[in-house]
């Protein structure tokens, strides 16, 4: 996961418990942009679902992020059908069956689009 975060998101590792745990297992902390991400050692999810976490990326950087995902050989999930006016997305699984989305739009863009009749 540390490799995954550093390659895809240019994450900076800022903490590694290295077996001196303050929580229930080994953990690492990363900074991605202005976001703190904590990962903990544990068993992978037993099955995959559409539950996911999405990160906003710029239109101009979207192809670079897609290239990073492919560089790691991650499984890319076919995207859902989009309504006209929605932005680009890529969905992919990490090594433990967590689903991630990289999306080029904003919440405001989506709410504006969804408020319009199709």
pLDDT digits (tens, 9 = 90+) for 13-36: 999 998 787 788 899 999 999 999
CA distance 70 to 68: 5
Backbone φ and ψ for 6, nearest 5 degrees, come out as: -70, -40
Pair 50, 103 in one domain: yes
Q: What residue numbers bound the domain in which 1 lies?
A: 1-42
Handedness of CA 54, 55, 59, 61 (dihedral sign): negative
For residues 113 and 102, the model is more confident at 102
Pair 38, 50 in one domain: no
Q: What is the pTM of this model?
A: 0.80
Catalytic status, residue 43: no
Pair 26, 58 in one domain: no
| Active-site entry in 27, 61, 75, 86 | 27
What is residue 113's predicted lDDT score, i.e. its pLDDT?
76
Pair 86, 37 in one domain: no
Pair 69, 30 in one domain: no
What is residue 12's predicted lDDT score, i.e. its pLDDT?
97
Number of domains observed in the structure of the chain: 2
């Amino acid at each position: 996961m540390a490799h995954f975060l550093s390659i895809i998101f240019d994450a900076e590792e800022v903490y590694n418990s290295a077996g001196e745990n303050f929580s229930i297992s080994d953990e690492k902390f990363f900074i991605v942009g202005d976001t703190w991400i904590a990962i903990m050692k544990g068993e992978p999810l037993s099955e995959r679902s559409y539950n996911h976490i999405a990160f906003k990326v710029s239109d101009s950087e979207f192809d670079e992020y897609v290239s990073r995902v492919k560089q790691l050989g991650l499984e890319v999930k076919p995207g859902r059908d989009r309504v006209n006016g929605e932005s680009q997305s890529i969905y992919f699984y990490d090594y433990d069956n967590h689903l991630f989305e990289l999306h080029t739009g904003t919440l405001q863009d989506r709410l504006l689009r969804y408020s319009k009749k199709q």
